[in-house]
Amino acid sequence: MASLSLEGATKTYKRPTPSSWRNMFSRLRGGEAGDVAVADTEEDLIYALQDLDLQIDDGESLSILGPSGCGKTTVLRILAGLETLESGKVLFDGEDVTTVSPQERNVAMVFQDYALYPHWESEDNLGFFFQMHQRKHEIPERVRITARVMGLGFETLLSQKPPRLSGGQQQRVAIARAIIRDPRTFLFDEPLSNLDATVRARTRVEIRRLIQRFGITSVYVTHDQAEAFTMGDRVAVMDKGRILQIDSRRQLIDRPLNRFVADFITVPPMNLLPGVVYREYVDIHDRKVTPPAIVLQQYQTERVTIGIRPADVVLRPDSEEDTIPAKVETVEPLMSERAVLLTVRVGRYTYRVQRPHTEHHEADTLVFMEIPPHNQHVFDSRGRRVN
Ligand SMILES: Nc1ncnc2c1ncn2[C@@H]1O[C@H](COP(=O)(O)OP(=O)(O)OP(=O)(O)O)[C@@H](O)[C@H]1O
Ligand SMILES: [Mg+2]
């Protein structure tokens, strides 16, 4: 077990540029290397991580969410010691391990593809590390303990070769192969994305049980927001090599700190309306909407974005100065919520409104949306939260 942190972590990769491709092709054709000059300019660098700070407490489970290419895998590889930083530090229990080798860090990584040896029985896959390090005598006892930890039915997998196991079973073996080394930290990189929904849900619960039972510090990368919230005590939302917010599920939903997070967290999704602040109101679609007081105090004639969750929109029967007329496009029942979800259109913008299922709504009718100030999430022109 350990606490983990990154301090000012910056990691760059070289981007293959048209000129470097040309250079490579010219070399392949037997031409002179350097036919075409290649300049290593700033634009040639991809910032996979940009001055990133991250603190994960001992025994904590952190999930990382973010769009493809934002740097999630890079964070894990840096923590595991598989990549080196351009600048910044990696600390385990406050101790600088930036230059410590992956083996000495004692960190286990579980990937999307299980990377088991197909010709070996599962038991030999589990014992591989000890076999390699002249610690063969430890294998039987460790396998026995690990099988007990992995729970019901795991022992029957031990004598099988991976190709004969289902995806879920292979992933259990891969997890067991990580556990058997008694790591102080677990890093998961989309471990369940190859599995179908049912197995995925079951395996997720199993992993959560294991890491909680043993108080293992873990970092869990996923594209699936529901999964991120189940697996993590806190969730970090990343974009372009930076962490934009680390918070509990409640906070990410109730108080997104910037527009990107507001838009990215879609359980439930937020409507984002474009507005301009005037002395006494915010102009949204040529209507006068009242914002939280702080917006009028601080932001005059500035563009803002007003966020509101579908369930927080109020519908009025008639047009009033502060309501926004919208045309209902679709009405679908939301069985789990005893509600209906309306898609409504204002000009080229589409919004969602959630209403109790007892109300009757029809497509092609007009509704009048009221956006109550206390439910607004207001973001300034740079996307930062205002209220
Ligand atoms: N070995 C590499 N060489 C060059 N660029 C790389 C390399 N590895 C990653 N990158 C770049 O660094 C950035 C971050 O990559 P990373 O794999 O961490 O993203 P990710 O968030 O894990 O994405 P995904 O969700 O698609 O797995 C991307 O722009 C990627 O193209
Ligand atoms: Mg990745």
State the average pLDDT over residues 296-325. 93
Identify the domain boundary among 204, 227, 259. 259
Cα maximum dimension of the chain: 80
How far is residue 63 from each of residues 85, 228, 303, measured CA to CA in Å? 22, 5, 33
Cα three-residue angle 188-194-197, rounded to 5 degrees: 100
Amino acid making up residue 209: R
Identify the domain boundary among 259, 284, 304. 259
As a whole number of angstroms, the distance between CA 236 and CA 232 comes to 9
pLDDT of residue 101: 93
CB atoms within 10 A of CB 331: 18
Q: pLDDT digit string (tens) for 199-220?
A: 888 888 888 888 888 888 999 9
- The alpha carbon of 217 is separated from its chain's Cα centroid by a whole number of angstroms, namely 17
pLDDT of residue 160: 94
- List, in sequence order, the alpha helices (H) in the chain: 18-28, 72-80, 102-105, 122-132, 139-150, 167-179, 197-213, 225-231, 249-254, 259-264, 293-298
Measuring from atom 28 of ligand 1, which residue has the nearest CA? 69
Distance 65 CA to ligand 2 centre (A): 10
Question: Residue 101's domain is classified under what CATH number?
Answer: 3.40.50.300
Burial code of 97-115, b = ≥16 C-beta within 10 A, e = fewer? bbeeeeeebebbbbbbebe
Contact at 8 Å (CB) between 3 and 184? no
Q: Is the pLDDT of residue 33 over 50?
A: no
Measuring from atom 7 of ligand 1, which residue has the nearest CA? 13
Same domain flag for 249 and 274 = no
- Assign 17 a pLDDT band (cuts: 50, 70, 90): low
pLDDT higher at 41 or 117: 117
- The alpha carbon of 323 is separated from its chain's Cα centroid by a whole number of angstroms, namely 35
Instruction: Give the nearest ligand 1 atom to 223 CA.
Output: 25
Instruction: Give the nearest ligand 1 atom to 77 CA.
Output: 18
Query: Ligand 1 pocket test: which of 47, 70, 187, 219 has the largest number of ligand atoms within 8 Å of its C-beta?
Result: 70
Question: 182, 183, 157: which is closest to 171 by C-alpha?
Answer: 157
Is position 300 within any domain?
Answer: yes
Same domain flag for 181 and 122 = yes
Q: Which residues pair with 308 in a beta bridge?
A: 271
- Assign 283 a pLDDT band (cuts: 50, 70, 90): very high
Instruction: Give the nearest ligand 1 atom to 11 CA.
Output: 12
Q: Which residues pair with 330 in a beta bridge?
A: 343
Report how many domains make up the chain: 2
Query: Residue 333 is part of which domain span?
Result: 270-379
Q: Is the pLDDT of residue 36 over 60?
A: no
Query: Ligand 1 pocket test: which of 11, 15, 74 has the largest number of ligand atoms within 8 Å of its C-beta?
Result: 74
Q: pLDDT digit string (tens) for 64-109?
A: 999 999 999 999 999 999 999 999 999 999 999 999 999 899 899 8
Q: Which residues contact 156 (CB under 8 A, 6 or more apart)?
A: none
Same domain flag for 218 and 159 = yes
Identify the domain boundary among 226, 259, 292. 259
Contact at 8 Å (CB) between 78 and 249? no
Ligand nearest to the CA of 239: 1
Distance 208 CA to ligand 2 centre (A): 21
Average pLDDT along the chain: 90
- Give the three-state DSSP class for 150: helix
Distance 240 CA to ligand 1 centre (A): 10
Query: Ligand 1 pocket test: which of 11, 13, 65 has the largest number of ligand atoms within 8 Å of its C-beta?
Result: 13
Question: Residue 358's domain is classified under what CATH number?
Answer: 2.40.50.140
Is position 25 within any domain?
Answer: no
pLDDT of residue 168: 85
Same domain flag for 97 and 228 = yes
Question: 315, 317, 294: which is closest to 373 by C-alpha?
Answer: 294
Contact at 8 Å (CB) between 71 and 241? yes
Q: Is the pLDDT of residue 323 over 70?
A: yes
